[in-house]
Amino acid sequence: METSRPSLRGPRPAAATAPRNGRHAWLVWLLASVFVVWIFAIQTAYAVI
């Protein structure tokens, strides 16, 4: 069952560079949304001060 999860020492390093295969898509979206929210929070904080 090694194909169900990405292995760091696997023979397919392309899986880490292609996050749109369905398994890592949620992680990419989560990181992107957190980054965008963090940027907007910083801009809002500087605008309020």
Section 9-17 average pLDDT: 53
Residue 25's pLDDT band, with cuts at 50, 70 and 90, is confident
Q: How far apart are CA 12 and CA 43, in angstroms?
A: 40
Domain assignment present for 8: no
Question: pTM value?
Answer: 0.45
Residue 41 lies in domain: 22-49
Domain assignment present for 1: no
Q: How many domains does the chain have?
A: 1
> What pLDDT sits at residue 43?
94
Q: How far apart are CA 35 and CA 41, in angstroms?
A: 10
- Please indicate whether residue 19 or residue 28 has the higher confidence score (pLDDT): 28
- Show the 3-state SS of the chain: CHHHCCCCCCCCCHHHHCHHHCCCHHHHHHHHHHHHHHHHHHHHHHHHC
Domain assignment present for 29: yes
Residue with tokens 């397919």: 12
